Amino acid sequence: MRKRVPVGTATALARSRRALRSAAYRAEQQRLAQFEELARLVIKHRGALGISQKELARRVGTSHSAISRIESGRHKTSVETLQRLAHALGVRLVIGFESGPANRPIRELVSA
């Protein structure tokens, strides 16, 4: 008999349980991690400005649905779109490369 999970179980807990059971799910989580981090940053800066997704879309020159997709953390975004987002949010886009050991990375960055 399977143990029943109570209604309202945290999403993070459900995700971690699923990741334990599925290598494919873990691989997909790793693939999407960078997009989710970017989404959190966009949401954070948009929130700090107190603007809606619709307003950010207007400032970027794109659709509300495009901003929604970016903020979902499940879609790739072009460098050009990232530059327009940074400008609309009043921040600089920084892009670079990282080499060396993970615990002491060497970062080479450029501001776009």
- Tens digits of per-residue pLDDT, 11-46? 777 777 877 788 887 777 787 788 899 999 999 999
Q: Which homologous superfamily is 33-111 in? A: lambda repressor-like DNA-binding domains (1.10.260.40)
CB 17 within 8 A of CB 29: no
Mean pLDDT of 96-110: 95
User: 67: which residues sit within 8 A by CB, 6+ positions away?
Assistant: 42, 53, 54, 56, 57, 60
Q: 1 pLDDT exceeds 60?
A: no
CB 61 within 8 A of CB 84: yes
Angle between helix 53-60 and helix 79-89 axes, rounded to 10 deg? 110
